[in-house]
Amino acid sequence: MQNNRTDLLTEVADYYTTKLAEHGETPRGVDWNGEEGQTLRFEQLCKIIDTTNHFSINDLGCGYGALYEFLSSKSEKFSYLGVDVSDSMVKAAMQRFIDKPQANFVLASEPNRAADFCVASGIFNVRMGRSDDEWLSYLEATLDVLDQTSRIGFAFNCLTAYSDADKMRDYLYYADPCVLFDLCKRRYSRNVALLHDYDLYEFTVLVRK
């Protein structure tokens, strides 16, 4: 099982390394269509955070650090750890924010510290040739990591199974929001929010402990 997970993460790392090489440090470089959608996505995820108080955050699948940039526009009172399985992404992020001591980046599949909040944006989308069952197992194991490394709460997003059929792609994973809402309510907290009212083919789940 561990070898299978390692192979899966290597596939994901290779995919995003290629995207970064093609498009650079832009939303397309982390496989998003554009900056407007990326900002809207971050706004949903960050509803888990009270930015008026100092907080710490782990960003799992940080890419080149776009979420850190977004948070910096909202607050200066936070410490940030970006985690990614792509060496090229981590190096790009470290160079991009070399003068920001509160921003740290590590090459890893999970955070090496606990933080007030953990977020994961887009890491459950590209399943390559993996089956639905295999990818869901990976997704659930990763949610356990988000739970274990967050003190106050965590948030994540997924492409939605309610997407228009003609827009769906075989190499992408479309999750059932009701299944994941139920999972989070039963496994992690009574305080779970499902956000599916913004204009993207995805949903966001907020888990408050």
User: What is the per-residue pLDDT for 156?
Assistant: 98
Read off the tokens for 1.
């099982």
Residue ranges in the chain whose pLDDT is less than 50: 1, 29-30
Q: What is the DSSP string of 12-59?
A: HHHHHHHHHHHH-SSGGGGT-S-HHHHHHHHHHHGGG--TTS-EEEEE
User: What is the per-residue pLDDT for 83?
Assistant: 96
- Pick left, alpha or beta for residue 39 (phi over 0 → left; psi -120 to 50 → alpha; otherwise beta): alpha
User: What is the per-residue pLDDT for 16?
Assistant: 66
pTM of the model: 0.87
- Return the exposure string of 65-82: e unless at least 16 CB atoms fall within 10 Å of the residue's CB, then b: bbbbebbbeeeeebbbbb
The C-alpha atoms of residue 181 and residue 192 are separated, in whole angstroms, by 7
What are the C-alpha distances in Å from 16 to residues 11, 159, 189? 9, 17, 32
Domains of the chain, first to last: 2-208 (3.40.50.150)
Rounded to the nearest 10°, the torsion over CA 181, 183, 186, 191 is -30
